[in-house]
Amino acid sequence: MKSERYKINNQQTYIHYLKKDHRPPRPTILFLHGLGSTGKTFYPLMRSLSDRYHVIAVDLPGHGDSEAFGRVTKEGLSTWLLTIMDSLQLDHAHLAGHSIGGDLALQFAVRYPDRVSSLILLDGGYLRAEPLGTTVEEEIMRARAHCETFVFPTWASFMSEPGSDLMKENMHEKNGKIRLKVDIDTAADLTREMAEEPSSATIENWTVPTLLMRSTKPEELHSIRERETERITLRAPVQVIDICDSTHELYIDNPARVKDEVKYWVESII
C-alpha cells in the first residue's frame, strides 16, 4: 500500500491506495473508516479488490496521520471529502463507509449525488442513537471514554490482544503508552454530528443506489436493526444483505463474503 500526504483546506490529510494499471479504466472505490480507526484498516479488503478496481482509503480528520481541523460538522466534512475527490481528479466514485464512515458517505451523497456512483454501507449509516437506548450526550461520553481508555503499557501487551494484528495501524506510542491515533475532540464532534442520522430529511434526499451490509452479532440488536432498516428502505433505494456470524467489524470478520458482495454490487451498477 502506498500513502501520500495532501493539503486539504490547509490541513494535512493522508490518503492510501493500491496502484494498478487498469486498461480500460475501472471504477474507483473510496473507503471511509470508522471512529478511532484509520484508512489502513481496509488494506486486506482493498488488496482483494485491486485486481478489478481502483481502491483508495483516507484517514478521516483527527485520525491516523491526518490532522484535526477545529469544529467538525456534517457540512464541513462533506466539503472536505469533495476537496479530496477534486484533488484526486475523481469525477465520481463508489463510497464505502464502515460505521461512522458510512454516515459520512451518506451525508456526502445527499449533498453531491452526482459525484457518487453508489454507496456501500458496512454496518453504518442506518443506526441512530435513540433506538439503541442512548442519548446523544451518552454516545459522546462513550466515544470519549473509548478513545481515552483504549491504552496499553507496551506494544507487547497490545499485540497479545485478539485481532491486534489487524488493528496495529490504528495505534501509536504517545507519552509512553500505546494509544489510538485519534484526536478525542474530533471523535466527540463526529459522534455529535452523526448520532441522530440518518434523519428524516436525510432519508428524503437519499437518491444514490445503496448496498447496506449488516452485522448479525450481537443477536439482541436484531429487532433494532430490523426497525431502523425498514425506516430507510421504505423511502430510499437501499438493498440489504446480512453478513452472517459477523460483528460490527464485518469486513474483518468475514472478508471473503464482503469482498464478493462489493464486487457483485459494483458490477451491477456499471
- Domain boundaries, given as residue ranges, for the chain: 2-129+199-269
pLDDT value at 18 more than 80: no
Residue-wise burial string across 113-124, b where 16 or more C-beta atoms lie within 10 A, e elsewhere: eebbbbbbbbbb
Residues 146/36, Cβ–Cβ less than 8 Å: yes
pLDDT value at 20 more than 70: no
- pLDDT (average), residues 99-103: 98
How far CA 34 is from CA of 31, 215, 236, 254, in Å, comes to 10, 15, 23, 17
Residues 103/84, Cβ–Cβ less than 8 Å: no
Which band of pLDDT confidence, cut at 50, 70 and 90, is reported for residue 163?
confident
SS3 39: helix
Per-residue pLDDT of 29-79, as tens digits, reads: 999 999 999 999 999 999 999 999 999 999 999 999 899 988 899 999 999
Please give the CATH topology (third level) of the domain spanning 2-129+199-269: Rossmann fold (3.40.50)
- pLDDT (average), residues 134-143: 96
For 88, phi then psi, to 5°, come to -90, 0
Kindly give the residue spans of alpha helices, DSSP state H, lying in the chain.
43-49, 74-87, 100-111, 136-149, 155-159, 164-167, 184-194, 200-204, 222-233, 250-253, 255-269
Which residues is 36 bridged to in the sheet?
Answer: none
Which band of pLDDT confidence, cut at 50, 70 and 90, is reported for residue 184?
very high
pLDDT value at 21 more than 80: no
Per-residue pLDDT of 230-263, as tens digits, reads: 999 999 999 999 999 999 999 999 999 999 999 9
What local confidence, expressed as pLDDT, does residue 165 receive?
87
What local confidence, expressed as pLDDT, does residue 19 receive?
64
What local confidence, expressed as pLDDT, does residue 23 receive?
60
- pLDDT (average), residues 14-30: 78
- The percent of residues in the chain predicted with pLDDT above 70, rounded, is 97
Eight-state DSSP code of residue 11: E
User: Could you give the CA distance from residue 20 to residue 53 in angstroms, rounded to a whole number?
Assistant: 8
What local confidence, expressed as pLDDT, does residue 2 receive?
75
What local confidence, expressed as pLDDT, does residue 160 receive?
96
Least confident of 92-96, 162-166, 210-214: 162-166
What local confidence, expressed as pLDDT, does residue 258 receive?
99
- The percent of residues in the chain predicted with pLDDT above 90, rounded, is 84
Which band of pLDDT confidence, cut at 50, 70 and 90, is reported for residue 162?
confident
Per-residue pLDDT of 78-94, as tens digits, reads: 999 999 999 899 999 99
Specify the pTM. 0.95
What local confidence, expressed as pLDDT, does residue 212 receive?
99
